[in-house]
Structure 1
C-alpha cells in the first residue's frame, strides 16, 4: 500500500500568491538593552596638558617617554570628507596648515581625531618655534594671512570610526595611532616616537642636543582634558607666555628691551624684561605692532618702580619667553625672546603661584 505524502514541515512562504509582500513589524527597542555602540563625533575636545615636574616619577615603568616638541598644539579632525585643524582656542587653522590637511586626507576616509603638535624643524631636525611663527606671519599686518609648510608630530588618537577613545588606556590609543599612521611615514603627519630609556638619562641627552625637554604619559590613563598629572613634562629650560606691557626705546635699534608681565591673581605683575633673541626684521615688525598699542593712561598697566624710560603698552601681545630661573624678587633670569603667541592659539599667560 502506498504511503500518503508527508505534509510540509514549514508553512508556505505565501498563503496568497497575489498578496503584496510584507515584512514583520519593527519592534521597539527594549530600553533595558544597551544602545548602539557608536559615539557621536565631538565638535571639539579640550586638550590634555602636561604638568611641569623637576624630576621623573619614582616608578617609571608605567610611563611612556617622548621628545617635547616646540610648536602649536593642534587636534586634526577628519569627518564626512572635511578636515579641520583645531587650535587650543577652538579656531580652525586648516587654511594655514595645508600640508597637514593633505596628509590627513591621505590616511583614508575614516572619521578620526588626532592630537599632536604643529612644528617647523631646523637644519638639525629640532623643532623651532621661531621658524613656525615666522612661517605663519604672526606679526603685524601679516597675521592670519600666511600659510605654513609645517608638519605635525602626532601623539594621541582620540576618536576613530564611531568610537570615542578617550575612555581607553593611553597604551591602547597609542597602538591604534601607530596602526593608522603605518605606511604614511613620508607624509606631513608623523608619529611622535616613544623612546625606551631611563627618563633622567633621556632628559640629559635631550638637553645636550639643544631640545626643549621630554614628555611622560601614564600608559594606564584615560584621556582627560587639562592638567591632571597623567601627562608630565621635564624641561631643559623653562619657556612660558607673558604679556608685553612696554618697551625701552633705542636710538640704534627698533627697541632696547621688552617689559613683561604675568598674572598675579586677577591682576598683572611686572616680571622683568627681555633684550635678546630678536632678529632685525622681527624686531622692526614687532615695533610697528607695539606702536599701535601705546598705553594712553597716566599710570602704567602694571606697578613699576624702575628708572627706565618706558613706552607703556596695552597688555595685548603675548610673547613666548625662554628663561633659566626666577630671581629672589620674582623676576626672570637669563631670558630670551622666542616669538609671539597668537590669541587664537589660546596662549595661556603665565600665572604666578599664590
Structure 2
C-alpha cells in the first residue's frame, strides 16, 4: 500500500505516523528459524541475505507464529554527544546489495526493522480489517523492546504542525497520515497521505558546471558552500533542479564575469573536473529534504538568489547533521505537497 502526496489531512479519523528514511520491505516470518524469514523490497527483490540481523530479530520475536509485516528497514546514524541517532540513508547504503555482509559490517551498521502494519497472523489475512484493528494486533506482537525491532509510533493528540515539528526534530522525513477505518489495499491510495518535510538553506555560490543538451552554454548546476572561519567555503552540494531557463542564462553571465582560476572551497568537490570557479559573492537559497552524514544536501532544488544577503551574513560551521541540532541557524523547516 502506497501513500499519496499531500498536506496533512485534518480530523480525528486520521492517525499520524512518522515517515522513515529507509528501504520499504515486507517481512514474511515463520517460526524461530531466521532462514525462514523472507524480506522483500518494494521492487519485489528478496533482500533477506543483505539483512541477516533483521531476520534473526524477527525470528526470535515471532516464536511459533506466522506473520507478514509491512515496514521499513533503516540504519541509524552513529550517536554522539548532543547528536542522537537518526535514520541514516548513507549508512543504509553500506548494507544494500551486500549479499553476505561481514560480522563487522553488521555490527557497525546494524539494521532495524520498523514495523507499521500487520497483514497476516497465523494464516489469518488481515487486509480487510481497518487500520485501527491491524495496528492493535501489531502492537500485541511485542516487537518493541527487542534490539533491531521497532513499532513505528503513532503521534496521538498532536495537530499537523506539531507533528511535523516533532518529525523534523528527530531527523525524520515527514509524516504519513492513515485513515483509521481504511483496509489495506495494495497500490497507491488516498487513505494514506504522506507529507514530506522540506528544509531551506542559504549558501554561497562558489562555482558552476555548464549544462548539457538544450542547456548547453548556460548553467547546468551551481556549487554551494558555507563559509568557514578560514575564509573558504565548505562544500555542501550542487543544485540544478528548479532553475528556469532565464535564470540559467542570467547566472551564466553573472558567474562568468566573476570567474576565477582558484577554487574557493576548502577541498576537492565531486564536480572538480567539470567545475568552473567564481568569486564567492552571490548567496542562493536551496530547498532540500535532508543532510547526508557528511553534510551534503539530499534531494535539493533551486529557490533563487538572495540579493538581500551577503556571504558574511551566513552562519558558518557545520549543518545540523553534523551538530545534532534540528536545523542550523538560518535554516528553516517547511512541509510541502509532494
TM-score class normalised by the smaller sequence: 0.5 to 0.7
Q: CA deviation at 1:145?
A: 5.2
In 2, the alpha carbon distance for the partners of 1:151 and 1:95 equals 15
Per-residue displacement from partner, 1:141-178 (whole Å, max 9, x unpaired)?
Answer: xx655455211111000111111111111111110110
Report the equivalent of 1:227: 188
Q: 5 Å matches for 1:154-233?
A: 154-181=115-142, 185-196=145-156, 197-233=158-194
| Residue 62, structure 1, aligned to residue 13, structure 2 | yes
Per-residue displacement from partner, 1:210-260 (whole Å, max 9, x unpaired)?
Answer: 43211111111011112211111112128xxxxxxxxxxx9xxxxx87989
Q: CA deviation at 1:276?
A: 6.6
Contact 2:26–2:39 at 8 Å: present in 1 too?
yes
Report the equivalent of 1:79: 30
In 2, the alpha carbon distance for the partners of 1:74 and 1:153 equals 10
SS of residue paired to 2:46:
coil
RMSD: 3.8
Contact 1:213–1:235 at 8 Å: present in 2 too?
yes
- Scaled by the length of structure 1, the TM-score of the pair is 0.53
Contact 1:237–1:324 at 8 Å: present in 2 too?
no
In 1, the alpha carbon distance for the partners of 2:30 and 2:210 equals 43
Report the equivalent of 1:112: 67
Q: 5 Å matches for 1:316-335?
A: 321-323=298-300
Q: CA deviation at 1:273?
A: 4.4
Contact 2:167–2:175 at 8 Å: present in 1 too?
yes
SS of residue paired to 2:134:
helix
Q: 5 Å matches for 1:1-354?
A: 48-54=1-7, 56-58=8-10, 60-79=11-30, 82-106=36-60, 107-122=62-77, 123=79, 124-133=84-93, 135-136=94-95, 144=99, 146=101, 149-181=110-142, 185-196=145-156, 197-237=158-198, 273=221, 321-323=298-300
Report the equivalent of 1:268: none
Gaps of 5+ in 1: 1-47, 239-249, 251-255, 262-270, 278-304, 312-319, 328-337, 339-352
SS of residue paired to 1:236:
strand
After the TM superposition, which parts of structure 1 deviate over 3 Å for at least 4 consecutive aligned residues? Answer: 143-148, 256-261, 271-277, 305-311, 324-327
- Scaled by the length of structure 2, the TM-score of the pair is 0.55
In 2, the alpha carbon distance for the partners of 1:188 and 1:172 equals 24
Contact 1:155–1:191 at 8 Å: present in 2 too?
yes
Q: CA deviation at 1:125?
A: 2.5
Q: 1:276 to 1:126 in 2, by over 3 A?
A: farther
In 1, the alpha carbon distance for the partners of 2:145 and 2:222 equals 40
SS of residue paired to 2:12:
helix
Q: 1:226 to 1:259 in 2, by over 3 A?
A: farther
Q: 1:322 to 1:177 in 2, by over 3 A?
A: same
Q: 1:323 to 1:187 in 2, by over 3 A?
A: same
Contact 2:67–2:119 at 8 Å: present in 1 too?
yes
Higher strand share: 2
